[in-house]
Amino acid sequence: RAANPGPLSDAAITAIWKEMMSGSLALEKPLKVAYLGPEGSFSHLAALEKFGRSVELVAVRDIAAVFDHVARSTADYGIVPVENTTGGAVRDTMECFLDVSGPVQVCAEMALPVHQNLLSKAALERIKKVYSKPQVFDQCRLWLSKNLAQADLVAVGSTTEAALLASRVDGTAAIASSMAAELYGLAVLAPAIEDNPQNQTRFLVLGRERAGPTGRDKTCLLFSVSHKAGALVEVLDIFRRFGINMTKIESHPSPTKSWEYLFFVDIEGHAQDPNVQEALQGARPHTRQLEVLGSFPVTVSAG
């Protein structure tokens, strides 16, 4: 980007490059990419942003199905949400890492700016009911209390389902993407109503092979420790001693042992880096379970 003299903007060049790469990949081999559907969801937008329009995008019913398609080789890649800057970690994705059978690896990441829009065929003052996902209502709480305090908030399974309902039921609205508005013939009554203007969702790209080291990488880990005082600190201290920076740590209740926790951790570095290998070797005796979920290049926010 620094070498771009114009006249095209950086965004325009990025879009052109993405479509060129997408077409090139499709010529090498028809690629299938599974995402959490239906069409018009933010996962759909993320898949388009990452892979372009020349691959076959496959909408599936839930996050577990994305993992399953990749594990069974019925899709080459999958893309799943893992955390939102407002709503926090996506629990379903974390649980799928525990349950998946097959060689599924995290091979890339991306961050997508998420703008929630109020969509309807009715005027704002006529709206009595609003459809969306519970997480979306959380992201738009202040705007809704100020502008639609009288409306009933009805939770549905996806923002695209919300848009479909709003297109069929008089006096209702949906909170969804601008793409959903186009798909279902709805007007955007209020754009970007999220409380946090920096609202983003981080997505992980799933594949069956680990990406090679680039010199600027990130590694996702899953581990559990013994239920004793200081067990977690011991593991964290090992990574510190090898100069490894942790960029994220998230706890999750163990599905098999009461009052024990699993930890999802992002660290700087690749699993093939010597210091990372030594840290993992040193940490294993202090854990009940330690898995490398994937290593991949660090990327910046989309857009």
217-297 has the same fold as 117-190: no
What percent of the chain is modeled with pLDDT above 90?
75
Q: How does residue 9 score in pLDDT terms, banded at 50, 70 and 90? A: low
Question: In this predicted structure, what is the pLDDT of residue 229?
Answer: 83
Question: In this predicted structure, what is the pLDDT of residue 272?
Answer: 97
Question: In this predicted structure, what is the pLDDT of residue 13?
Answer: 44
pLDDT digits over 165-205, tens only? 999 999 999 999 999 999 999 999 999 999 999 999 999 99
Q: Is the pLDDT of residue 111 over 50?
A: yes
State the average pLDDT over residues 60-84. 96
Question: In this predicted structure, what is the pLDDT of residue 27?
Answer: 54
Poorest-pLDDT segment among 3-17, 108-122, 143-157, 158-172: 3-17
pLDDT digits over 211-236, tens only? 999 999 999 999 999 878 888 999 99
The CATH superfamily holding the domain 10-113+199-207 is Periplasmic binding protein-like II (3.40.190.10)
What residues have CB less than 8 Å from 154, skipping those under 6 apart?
129, 130, 131
Q: How does residue 25 score in pLDDT terms, banded at 50, 70 and 90? A: low
For domain 217-297, give the CATH number.
3.30.70.260
Helix residue spans in the chain (DSSP H): 10-28, 42-51, 63-71, 91-99, 134-139, 141-147, 159-168, 178-184, 231-241, 274-283
Poorest-pLDDT segment among 45-59, 94-108, 121-135, 280-294: 94-108
Q: How does residue 3 score in pLDDT terms, banded at 50, 70 and 90? A: low
Q: Please, what is the Cα angle at 109 between 219 and 213, to 5 degrees?
A: 45
Q: What is the value of pTM for the model shown?
A: 0.83
Question: In this predicted structure, what is the pLDDT of residue 303?
Answer: 46
Q: Report residue 252: phi and psi, to 5°.
A: -145, 130
* DSSP per residue, 272-288: TSHHHHHHHHHHGGGEE
What percent of the chain is modeled with pLDDT above 70?
89
Q: What average pLDDT is seen over the chain?
A: 90
Bridge-based pairing state of the strands 56-60 and 32-36: parallel
Q: In the structure encoding, which two tokens stand for residue 141, read together?
A: 């709480």
Poorest-pLDDT segment among 96-100, 124-128, 224-228: 224-228
Question: In this predicted structure, what is the pLDDT of residue 150?
Answer: 95
Poorest-pLDDT segment among 15-29, 113-127, 164-178, 252-266: 15-29
Please state the domain extents for the chain.
10-113+199-207, 117-190, 217-297
The CA distance from 89 to 99, in Å, is 17
**CATH architecture of the domain with range 117-190:** 3-Layer(aba) Sandwich (3.40)
By the 8 A CB rule, do 256 and 213 touch? no
